[in-house]
Structure formats: structure tokens, C-alpha cells
Amino acid sequence: MNLFADIPQDLPEELFSEVFKNESLRIERIVSQGHSSDPDFWYEQDEHEWVIVLQGEAELEYADGAVKRLQSGDYVLIPATCKHRVKSSSVEPKCIWLALFFKGDLNG
């Protein structure tokens, strides 16, 4: 499998593809093309999320107002229950993310 394969030319909605899943880890490829979260929507999952932008760029916004700009190669760890949303994502090139979701203690 190739993370850059099977991506439609136009994406009316973000594309979520499960790459791997077991009881302790879930890996998703996410493809955005100018997408952003609805203004009233916040992600607040029970899992920690480590995400890297493989192509393109995006901005993550946190509930406290902080904004994190991510470009190709940039990654961030979002602790479980941390409210966040996609503020923006590039149209060209499409923004390709790889997200790892996991549970457990972040301190080791």
C-alpha cells in the first residue's frame, strides 16, 4: 500500500482511510483539500493523537485559541480530551496527514 495512492482528484469531503487497527493502536490516512472543521465543531476524543503532515500544510486550532501551523514533515501530539479542530488545509497540494491514535499514559 502507498499513502499517496488512490486519492480522488476532487474531494467534496475529507477522505479518511484506516491503515491499521488493533486494540491499542489505530492509524489513519486523512486527505484534506481546503477543508476545515465546522466553526462550532471540536474534536475531543478519548485517545491521544500523534499526527504528521506528509504533504501540503494545515492549521490546527485549540479551544484555548492557540493555532499550530503544520507544513510537510511537521508533527504534533494531541493529548486525549484536548479540544482541537482543523482551522485550514491546503488545496494544492492536497494536505495528506498520517494520524496515530492510542491510549495510555503519555509519561511512560
Radius of gyration of the chain (CA): 14
pLDDT band at residue 96 under the 50/70/90 scheme: very high
Domains of the chain, by residue range, sit at 15-102
pLDDT band at residue 45 under the 50/70/90 scheme: very high
- pLDDT for 1: 83
Average pLDDT of span 61-67: 97
Average pLDDT of span 31-42: 96
Q: How many CB atoms lie within 10 A of CB 29?
A: 20
User: What percent of the chain clears pLDDT 90, i.e. is strictly above it?
Assistant: 94
pLDDT band at residue 107 under the 50/70/90 scheme: confident
For residue 62, pLDDT beyond 80: yes
19 forms beta bridges with: none
Which among 58, 46, 51 has a CA at the least distance from the CA of 86? 58
Architecture of domain 15-102: Sandwich (2.60)
For residue 106, pLDDT beyond 80: yes
61 forms beta bridges with: 67, 85
Kindly report the pTM of this predicted structure: 0.94
Query: Going edge to edge, which strands form the sheet with 84-89?
Result: 67-71, 57-62, 84-89
Q: Answer whether 63's CB lies under 8 Å from 78's CB.
A: no
C-alpha angle with apex 99: 80 to 2, nearest 5 degrees? 165
Q: Answer whether 5's CB lies under 8 Å from 54's CB.
A: no
Rounded to the nearest integer, the mean pLDDT of the chain is 96
Question: Long-range contact list for 16-22, CB < 8 A, 24+ apart?
Answer: 19/98
